[in-house]
Structure 1
Amino acid sequence: MKARRAIAAAAVLLAGCDAGIPAAHPAPPPSVTAAASASAPVSASPSADVALTLAFGGDVHFTERTAALLRQPATAFGPMAADLAGADLAVVNLETAVTSRGTPEPKEFHFRAPPVAFEAVKAAGVDAVSIANNHALDYGRVGFADTLDGAAAAGVPVFGGGRTIDEAYAPLVLTVRGVRVAIVGFSQIHTLAESWKAGPATPGIALAWDVPRAVEAVRAARDRADLVVVFNHWGTERESCPNANQKTFAKALADAGADMIIGAHAHVLQGDGWLGRTYVAYGLGNFVWYVGSADTGVLKVHVRGRSVTGAELVPAVISGTGQPSALTGAAAAAAKQRFTDLRGCTGLAAAPPAA
């Protein structure tokens, strides 16, 4: 059985309801409320140098053709769920409000799903989801509160958003085979950013645009964990090369102590490599998505201690159901080469610097 079954949540970023936001049902109490700024630094755990494999998928939602997948949540992600479930820790971006309530926000596209979406996430072997994206509040703060409540009820850890700014930026800390893994998430999308950002007593998401706060969040995660992962929502849609904002922000996060930086949003793959000793995969594209047939896949990142020892893309394409369909043979080899070639415009190295 996958090692994730033994994962212990040391910090689940789900807290009590904010005043003035009607809840569909009372939010269950959190396992532990993260308060990174109040936590004392910790020493490396005895198992800090154990070898782990982390798996990442890109954007996931259940809208239009993918909505039908929730009729059978156990198989909603398709056969590639095995690549997620087989890792020690698996993470995706959940790009939807999980609610039946709320009012659509003033924007072009709106995504939402019923609470069974969390069953699909768990059935796929996903251990945590980012909600730091430009669709989490598609149905306002009422819908966002439902998303937080639904995640708590289903036992799905979330990061990158919360009922206050402290929760939104606090690391989710999970213990995986004795290794403390801290995950933080930020959105670098402009649309409605000012109205969707979390505040001192206002639910919302963590923004990359507040660079000092994001950097402090990574430093706080560094103090509390053996391995620090950042999952960003960033990039220019349909552009396979990272933009200047991505590169600048990645450098700030690496300098703050991030061990790996993973991204999504552009709907296409973007390249990977090393920024000093920090592994960066700028964009994983879509994963379970309602349109398109672009390259996608599961990114498997192998680590020992703080060092990324290797990474590989299990290549796939979005199928007619909206699920990722694994490629094989020559098609898989060609997709892997296309992914490798994307490094050319990233400014990243093919390997970390020699010790």
Structure 2
Amino acid sequence: MVAAVLAGSALLAGCGAEPPPAPMSPSAGPSTGPSVGPASPSGPASPSVPVELTLAFGGDVHFTERTAGLLKDPATAVGPMAEVLSAADLAVVNLETAVTTRGTPEPKEFHFRAPVTAYDAVKAAGIDAVSIANNHALDYGRVGFADTLDGAAAKGMPVFGGGRTIDEAYAPLILTARGVRVAIVGFSQIHTLAESWKAGPATPGIAVAWDVPRAVAAVKAARERADVVVVFNHWGTERESCPNDNQKTFAAALAEAGADMIIGAHAHVLQGDGWLGRTYVAYGLGNFVWYVGSADTGVLKVRVRGRDVVGAELVPAVVSGTGQPKALTGTSAAAATKRFTDLRRCTGLVPAPPAA
């Protein structure tokens, strides 16, 4: 669907309770942003007549316990919602796991890992890229993280939000869909092990949100190279359907830097959506392919014309007994849609973009 280039409770268990986050010390080296190469003198070459794209997003995906068996047939592992993902011009999820059979568990409560066929599964579902900026990518240390990166390269699955160096971790992934350049960057705002998991000048790791200057610089660099800029964050308080203050503050900084849309996951529940000025924000998409329990989920379809997000809708689903998302219909779908819409009340977001 796209061409890609890297520029530079038991129900909710999985990530553990988060202590109140503390400010992170700046990353080694100046926060000048990733090395993404020079922008063209005239900036992004937007089509003379704006193309309308549909971008699809899902929440957290992994293959462990009940979902591990789904990889016996990677072509069907994600389940029937793959049809919605495949129909979009570009589809993205958060890959909430190390992709490795090696490594040593890190000092944390929950550990997720999957074999390299996890990449076959997400590709078969029509997913074009996955975020690895999360609090499980290094569950099995840097040995496991190296396998995660190597496996993605071997399987041809674009990843973002992590890399072999800090420049690579913060670099935008540039996807081209129907001639439109879409830049995606990813950040983790989870405090646990963030200091040891963050990427360094020559140290593999993830892009963390706590280094706000570098994150802002990454968005600005993406803005220079692309027609549309997407930020995919791993953030929020687990089990809380309202965004916390850190989410709201960071969203405002990213919007100011030039993000056209900000998508999130991690809280294990849906969080509300709406517009922050001209920037569309969906604070949390919850679990998508998940190893325990059942919860509201769905595929978020976002329509963008030029740089303008002109509409968004959640195709409602529920995490089923297999761990796969199953689409809701009829009154169940209507009720789920209303629940999602009502979540906007605590976000500070508005239901529509400002008038042109």
Q: Same fold (TM over 0.5)?
A: yes
Task: Say yes or no: does 1:43 pair with 2:47.
Answer: no
Give TM-score scaled by structure 2 length: 0.91
Shift of 1:353: 1.1
What is the CA–CA distance in structure 2 between the aligned matches of 1:40 and 1:267, rounded to whole Å?
40
State the one-letter code of the partner of 1:197.
Answer: K
Query: Which residues in structure 2 correspond to 1:114-153 (within 5 Å)?
Result: 114-153=115-154
Q: Paired residue for 1:113?
A: 114
Counterpart contact for 1:47–1:177, Cα < 8 Å? no
What is the letter of the counterpart of residue 237 of structure 1? Answer: E
| Residues 24-103 of structure 1 aligned to structure 2 (within 5 Å) | 35-36=35-36, 38-40=38-40, 42-47=42-47, 49-103=50-104
Supply the AA of the counterpart residue of 2:155. Answer: A
- 1:182 alignment partner in structure 2: 183
Q: Is residue 2:3 matched to residue 1:8? A: yes
Contact 2:298 2:318 in 1 (8 A): yes
Equivalent residue number for residue 160 of structure 1: 161
Q: Percent identity?
A: 82
Deviations along 1:149-170, whole A, 9 cap, x unmatched?
0000000000000000000000
CA change 1:250–1:316 in 2 (3 A) is same
| Counterpart-to-counterpart distance in 2, 1:263 and 1:11 | 21
2:206 aligned partner: 205
Gap change, CA 1:10 and 1:274, over 3 Å in 2: same
Residues 232-284 of structure 1, C-alpha deviations (whole Å, 9 max, x = no match): 00000000000000000000000000000000000000000000000000000
2:286 pairs with 1:291: no
Contact 2:7 2:35 in 1 (8 A): no
1: CA distance between counterparts of 2:54 and 2:313? 11
Report SS of the residue matched to 2:229: strand
Considering only aligned residues, what root-mean-square deviation do their CA atoms show, in Å?
A: 1.2
Question: Closer, same or farther in 2 for the Cα pair 1:192/1:333, shift >3 Å?
Answer: same
Deviations 1:85-142 (A, max 9, x none): 0000000000100000000000000000000000001000000000000000000000
Report deviation, 1:45. 1.9
Q: 1:11 Cα deviation (Å)? A: 2.5
Distance in 2 (CA, whole Å) between partners of 1:106 and 1:256 is: 35
**TM-score, normalising length from structure 1?**
0.91
CA contact (8 A) 2:7 2:171 kept: no
The equivalent residue for 1:22 is none
Supply the AA of the counterpart residue of 2:346.
C
Instruction: From the superposition, tell whether residues 41 and 92 of structure 1 become closer, same or farther in structure 2 (CA, over 3 Å).
Output: farther
Tell me what 2:228 maps to. 227
Q: Deviations over 1:210-231 (max 9, x none)?
A: 0000000000000000000000
Following TM superposition, by how much is the alpha carbon of 1:206 offset from its aligned partner in structure 2, in angstroms?
0.2
Q: Are 1:230 and 1:261, in contact at CA under 8 Å, matched by a contact in 2?
A: yes
Instruction: Render the CA deviation track for 1:299-328: whole Å, top value 9, x for unaligned.
Output: 000010000110000000000000001000
Q: What is the distance in 2 between the residues matched to 1:346 and 1:337?
A: 15
Give the aligned residue type for 1:313: L
Cα distance in structure 2, aligned partners of 1:255 and 1:60: 30
CA distance in structure 2 between the partners assigned to 1:11 and 1:232 by the alignment? 18
Aligned equivalents of 1:40, 1:169: Cα separation in 2: 20
- Provide the residue aligned with 2:16 in structure 1: none
Local SS of the residue matching 2:338: helix
Aligned-residue offset at 1:9: 1.6
Aligned 8 A contact 1:11 1:172 in 2: yes
Q: 1:310 to 1:111 in 2, by over 3 A?
A: same
| Partner Cα separation in structure 1 for residue 77 and residue 55 of structure 2 | 21
Taking a change above 3 Å as real, the CA distance of residues 138 and 306 of structure 1, as seen in their structure-2 partners, is: same
Amino acid of the residue matched to residue 267 of structure 1?
H
CA distance in 2: counterparts of 1:134 and 1:151, whole angstroms = 18
Checking the alignment, whether the CA contact within 8 Å between 1:42 and 1:223 is kept in structure 2 is no
SS in 2 for 1:215: helix
Could you say which residue in structure 1 is the equivalent of 2:307? Answer: 306
**Separation in 1, partners of 2:111, 2:264:** 21
Aligned length: 330
C-alpha deviation, 1:8, in angstroms:
1.7
Could you say which residue in structure 1 is the equivalent of 2:332?
331
Contact 2:7 2:36 (8 Å CA) reproduced: no
Structure 2 CA distance for aligned equivalents of residues 283 and 234 of structure 1: 8
